[in-house]
Amino acid sequence: MIFDTAVIGAGAAGLFAGACLAESSAASGKTIILEKGTRPGRKLLMAGSGQCNLTHSGDMKDFVSHYGPNGKKIRSVLYQFSNERVISFFEERGCPLTVRSDGKVFPRSFQGSQVLNLLVQSCLNGGVELRCQCPVLSLEKLGREQAGSPESCFRITCGDGSAVFARRVLAASGGCSYPSTGSDGSLFPLLRDLGLEIVLPRPALVPLYVERYPYGELSGISFSPAAVILSDGKTGKKMAENQDDLLFTHRCLSGPAILNLSRHARPGQRITVCYLPGLSRGDVERMLREAALGSERQRQLLSMLCGLFPVLPRRFLELLCTRAEAAADRRAAETPGAAFRRLAALLTEDSFTVSGPGRFSEAMVTSGGVALSAVDLKTMESKACPGLYLAGEVLDVDGDTGGYNLQFAFSSAWLAVRSLAAALPDEAVR
């Protein structure tokens, strides 16, 4: 039997594509999803800490700025299946959504399993075959003679040695992040053999490790927000900046402010953190000196700092005093001016050398993958290998935290389905 469509990967993109295909009656019995894991959508269940942040409610004009340098290239993909269409898709199929005050969109139940069940059920109800424990080991395009049919087709060899034949293939195998979920980059060599350029995959949305990290004992403390600048270690040139929540972990810096910068980070670069966004080093030094010479002169230095900066945790300020060689228990008026200068520098320009981003096992997404230049972004079809389509994180697209990655998975999957199903009569996938 030759399937019309074989989808490789039952993640967000693959299942969404399956659900769209399932709504075309012509898909019944003619579409198969091949998934290497024992069950579909494992990463979807982890998304948003199990709550599944499906998309963001912001203006679509703003979306492209959330995908790094490749954002502009995928504008039309996002516009054709926008955040509003994602929201309607789920709500119309019985999964009401809610928009949080920060614009992130979740199922109203805050259960990622509801999203996963909806997609899986849509596939199964529409006659899409979902075959798990079926890792794709090889992917070949057969000419008409080899295929023994009037059209060319693909031969897909699975882990158990069985072969699946399909007229069109949608590669939705994800990137390399969280390989324990099945997304381990195993399809990249097969896609390269079919002539597609692969941009070196690297961890993104990942915590950053810095040399001589001082905040291990403050693990769990967060700042909302902090301003973070990433700059060249030699020239000091600014590479990227971000203002968002920052989190200290046992071994590294994390939180959205760091994760969203991580796609740019390389060892040797500098990270500078301002824990008091909007205030300069000079502003803070002045505030400290004025307080210590005025109304706060009799207080201990640490109490004065807590009073001046109530948004900052006491334990953090205490450690900062140690780092600035300022006696926390000494009267503010007795603190030397040089100690105020050091404290102001740490509060507004706490600077670290990046030793490296975290590994794929810590990265929420992958930067790199199939080069966008290898794909016709009007159809999501490979230029080198007609009949092969791509969607989701397998492509060289990585978005910020906030629902941007699932939005791209859905938008690209929808566009791929619309293109590969163009010959089908049903309007549901158009």
- Using CB under 6 A, list all residues that contact ligand FAD: 8-14, 34-37, 43-44, 46-48, 53, 135-136, 172-174, 177-178, 182-183, 186-187, 364-365, 392-394, 403-406, 409
Q: Shortest approach of ligand FAD to residue 375 CB, angstroms?
A: 14
| Residue 292: closest CA among 226, 339, 324, 255 | 339
d(CA 252, CA 358): 9
Q: Shortest approach of ligand FAD to residue 56 CB, angstroms?
A: 8
> DSSP string covering 273-306, please?
EESSTT--HHHHHHHHHHHHHTTTTTSBHHHHHH
Chain-centroid distance, C-alpha 77:
17
Q: What are phi and psi of 288, to 5 degrees?
A: -65, -45
| Residue 173: closest CA among 67, 36, 359, 25 | 36
Query: Among all residues, whose Cβ is closest to ligand FAD?
Result: 11
Q: Shortest approach of ligand FAD to residue 101 CB, angstroms?
A: 16
Q: Provide the CB-side half-sphere exposure for 426 (13 A, CA).
A: 16
Q: Which is nearer to ligand FAD, 199 or 291 (CB)?
A: 199
Q: Which is nearer to ligand FAD, 166 or 347 (CB)?
A: 166
403 φ/ψ sector (left φ>0, alpha ψ -120 to 50, else beta):
left
Q: Annotate 320-351 with b (16+ C-beta within 10 A) or e (fewer).
A: bbeebebbbeebbeebeeebbbbbbebbbebe
Q: Which is nearer to ligand FAD, 14 or 126 (CB)?
A: 14
Q: Which is nearer to ligand FAD, 137 or 333 (CB)?
A: 137
CA-derived radius of gyration, the chain: 26
Q: Shortest approach of ligand FAD to residue 185 CB, angstroms?
A: 8
Q: Shortest approach of ligand FAD to residue 47 CB, angstroms?
A: 3
Taking a C-beta distance cutoff of 8 angstroms, is the pair 53, 110 a contact? no
Q: Which is nearer to ligand FAD, 251 or 341 (CB)?
A: 251
Q: Shortest approach of ligand FAD to residue 376 CB, angstroms?
A: 18
d(CA 278, CA 240): 17
Q: Shortest approach of ligand FAD to residue 63 CB, angstroms?
A: 12
Single-letter residue type at 185: G
Q: Which is nearer to ligand FAD, 8 or 196 (CB)?
A: 8
Q: Shortest approach of ligand FAD to residue 314 CB, angstroms?
A: 31
Q: Which is nearer to ligand FAD, 33 or 324 (CB)?
A: 33
At CA 214, angle to CA 208 and CA 217, rounded to 5? 100
Q: Which is nearer to ligand FAD, 69 or 268 (CB)?
A: 69
